[in-house]
Structure 1
Amino acid sequence: MVPMRSIPLRLVLALLICCIVVPAVGAPVVFAKKDLKQQASSTKADVKRLTEQERTLHKDLAGIEDDMDALEKKIAGQEKKLAGLEKEEAAIGEKRDALEARRKETAKELTVLLRKLWPIHVLNKTQRGRAMESWDQADREFTWLAAIYKRVGVKMEDIREQNAALEATMQEQKKAADQARAELAAVNQDKDRLLEHKLDFNRRIAEVRKEKLSKEEELDQVLAAIQKMEYKLRREAERKAEEARQKKEAEEARKAEIARKAEEARKKAEAERLAEKKTAKVEQARAKFTLMPMPSVPPKKAVGGLKGRMPWPVERGNVRIGFKASANPPHRGVGLAVHEGEPVRAVAFGKVVHTDTMRGYGKVVVLVHGEEYYSLYAYLAETKVDLGEEVEAGQEIGTAGYFPELKGPGLYFELRFHQKAINPKAWLASLK
């Protein structure tokens, strides 16, 4: 956080005005807001200046970074060279160890020769050849001694050469070690210089960023105070706008509900009107049939005696719409679902009084059975009787067609007595 003493006095005064005067007076709010905006503008300028300074610092330090890169490459080369020197020193040490071992081996051989030669040398000095038994023996001893002396001389010369080589190797090793120490000192010195550059680079960047962060925190405080003021000034306008929006939505919803109910009422009235019109036309057609003279029906074929035994108009059918005169619109007959092309047969002896289309029922056949009984067969695919023709019970009068309410093949069947629809359930042999 920014220390309190770093916040300008005018910012503190503006904040006090914001907290104390804003709720009551409008003019001080404007002045305080103006003062805060000026402070924010000044702080933004400081932040921008520090940002540019940071960028400039990065540009200026680009050269230092190049020097640091070059120095790191130099250190890497020095370390590589130092590793080579250390490897060379190790090789010289191995060479020195090998020479030292050879010198020791030669000295050991020389010691053995001298131990053998010394007693003979002492004997010759004391007896001066008196112990020799013959000239041949003396000659052999002389030749043997000469060979030993020669070999001793060779070993002595080997030791001198090996000592010289060993001394040269030790000098070479000392030189390599001194050079390696010098390279190590140079590497350490360059590393110290590189570390110093990096620390200085980080210090300068940290100082600029710290100052920039301080200014940004100060700017955040000023902007927060401005936002608080603007919120208080804006809140009332937003509330009124929300109230207006809600009022508008409520009015639109009320109008939409009124329109929906009006449309529903219109559709319902239209449906009722069409139903009434359809019912009236059907009733007119039925009334026309009832005015026709009843055919002469033999007693054995009279419908009155078929109650409960009347055959079904189709052999294979399922009741999907039942008789219900109290429904709206009323169901004055039954709807049967059948197979397509199913034969439709007369339920009793009668006379054809209608074999044509009837609006709302498709192709229709109406039979009058005497005693003021009528049967109606609707939604036929085709009719097979003529107007005025008499038909027997079970005679095919047509084939079943498409029944709209069942959305498939079907038959609408209706029974009437004295112009009033009666429930076929009481007349048909059994319900399927």
Structure 2
Amino acid sequence: MGRQLFPRLLALAALIPALVMSAGMWCHAPEAAAKSTIRETIIPAPKTSRTKAAQRKNRIASAKTQSAKKTSLQSTPSKKPASKSSATKAKASVRGDLKNQQSNLTERQKSIQGELTSIKQDIEKKQERMNEATNDLKLSEKAISDSNRTLKELGEKKEQVENRLSDLAREAKIVGGHVKDAEELIGVISNAQFMNTRRHPWQSALEGGNPNDVARLTAVLGYMAIEEHRTVERLENRQKNIEAVRQKTAATRQELVRIERDEEKNRQKLQHEKTLRERAVGRLRQEITSQKERYEQLVKNEAQLSDLIANLDRRIAAEEKAEREREARRLAAEERAAKAAREAEKQSGKRVAARPSSGKDDPRRTTSAPTIGNFGSLKGRLTLPTRGQIAARFGQKREGAASSLSWRGLLIRAPQGQNVVAAAPGTVVFSDWMRGFGNLLIVDHGSNYLSVYANNETLYKQVGSRVRQGETIASVGSSGGEDQPGLYFELRYKGKPFNPEGWLAR
């Protein structure tokens, strides 16, 4: 009995590694078949008259049968146990869900991208319209500035004419006084002449005088009368000239009044057009801002969606990679089982100490504002360009959810038309309309210092004008698309803005 069992144990030792690998890891061979094989191998058959050679032949046939089963398993996959099949179906379901999510998200991404394109095109169209409206507004604001300057010049000329008329009136009054005095003197002379003609020459002698005195006095009085008449004539001519100049000056004043009235009507018309264009620009700006905010939100949504899709791609790729690795391990296990079966067939009756390889993978690699020049001496003594409420200060964040910009100067709210004065002496280097700044005036103070005055209603100084500190250079307005009147004021050194508050006189 012992001699018959020992060869069977040897054969079993050769088959155990293959059976364990096959049944434990992938379970390709049915458990009943494996138990049957073990039972047939361990339990001896009833005693017969078979010889040891026959028994040996049976063992070889059994090993060949087992090898054939392994080979058949490699070519035709057998049914897996229920638990493994359920797990595989679950993993396949997860991968399917991930791919469905990926497909839905991709469609959503395409929809967002299409909406982004549509909004971008709409923004571009509205931007073109706003550019046109802004250009029209620029023309209106420049025209209003020119009209205001003309009105100011007309006012100055009218004031000069009024002063001239006042001077002429005073001069006419003085000349009239001289004429009156001369006429009175002529009357006195005429009276003296009359009295002298009635006096006899010898009367003077009787009174102890010279008889020739009467004749001499008559001659003197006659000469004086002639000169006074000439004086009166000159004064009367002067009066006529003064009156002629006065009438001409009065006519000039009337013409100036007429031109001023027409210019004021034109300015009011321009102001009305400017108001309409400001509303159009403001409406377009609001629409563009709203669409830009929508665009930025969609960009954020699209970025989040892209991240989510990329994450799904990585998960799907990881699942597919894991599936390939599992398949590779399964095939490797089957190959090892088949190899073990072939070894068992070769060893047949020999004792084999077969050990499965560890199968360990290689470890993973790990990767690891100065003050210079004359202008600098004015620090703390600059003139505030206009009086009003400071609505925004240097460095303060600008309003608007989509804006990340900050103020680079002072925004001073002030009444429309209030005077704007130069903060310091200098030369005007820019006096024109500029997008975003409206009627803009820039003064160069030397030593690389500039002062900037924006959103003006009227620019009174032109390029090249020398200005004194405190001299009026413009008037407060809302040009450049501002919704309220005010002045935007900057100080710059070498082109870079710096906080002006520390430079202004308290």
Q: TM-score, normalised by structure 1?
A: 0.43
The structure with the larger Rg is 1
* Structure possessing the higher relative contact order (Cα contacts under 8 Å, 6 or more residues apart): 2
Q: TM-score, normalised by structure 2?
A: 0.38
